[in-house]
């Protein structure tokens, strides 16, 4: 995906997703069964639930995320990144999450905070705000 000044809404489950070279975009993805990657983007807002999330070489982006397997991995020349908890709800979301194999039970409290504990791979802590 390579977009400029675009709104993208994916209301169903996708297997893998790579968002690259996007500028001034808002992207909503209900559920990603495997890996969601945000790479080489600028001023992008992403809202996604996935099993795994990677963010690299992005500038001035905001990511609202829920990850099941672990914390988001931040790499490369990523600057001015804001991470926040997943903030979406709509009637078909639970089905999309279930289809993607993302657990939706009440026992997911520990996972809700993964966004706040990113894994930084040679990225300075001051580049990220929570």
Write a three-state SS string for 15-35.
CCEEEECCECCEEEEEEEEEE
Are 58 and 20 spatial neighbours (Cβ–Cβ below 8 Å)? no
DSSP code for 96? H
What pLDDT was estimated at residue 90?
Answer: 87
Query: What's the rounded mean pLDDT across residues 27-56?
Result: 96
Fold topology of 7-129: Pectate Lyase C-like (2.160.20)
Alpha carbon separation from 4 to 13, 39, 125 (Å, rounded)? 23, 14, 28
Query: What's the rounded mean pLDDT across residues 7-35?
Result: 95
What pLDDT was estimated at residue 108?
Answer: 58
Spatial CA neighbour of 114 closest among 66, 51, 49, 53 = 66
Are 69 and 51 spatial neighbours (Cβ–Cβ below 8 Å)? yes
Predicted TM-score (pTM) of this structure: 0.91
The residue extents of the domains of the chain are 7-129
pLDDT per position as a tens digit, 65-89: 999 888 999 999 999 999 999 888 8
Return mean pLDDT, the chain. 90
């Amino acid at each position: 995906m390579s977009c400029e000044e675009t709104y993208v809404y994916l209301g169903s489950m996708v297997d893998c997703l790579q968002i690259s070279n996007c500028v001034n975009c808002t992207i909503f993805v209900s559920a990603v069964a495997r890996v969601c990657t945000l790479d080489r983007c600028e001023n992008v807002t992403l809202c996604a639930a996935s099993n795994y999330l990677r963010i690299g070489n992005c500038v001035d982006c905001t990511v609202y995320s829920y990850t099941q397997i672990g914390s988001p991995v931040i790499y490369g020349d990523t600057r001015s990144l804001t991470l926040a908890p997943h903030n979406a709800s709509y009637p078909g979301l639970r089905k999309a999450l279930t289809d993607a194999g993302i657990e939706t039970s009440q026992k997911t409290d520990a996972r809700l905070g993964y966004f706040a504990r990113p894994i930084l791979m040679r990225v300075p802590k001051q580049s990220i705000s929570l």
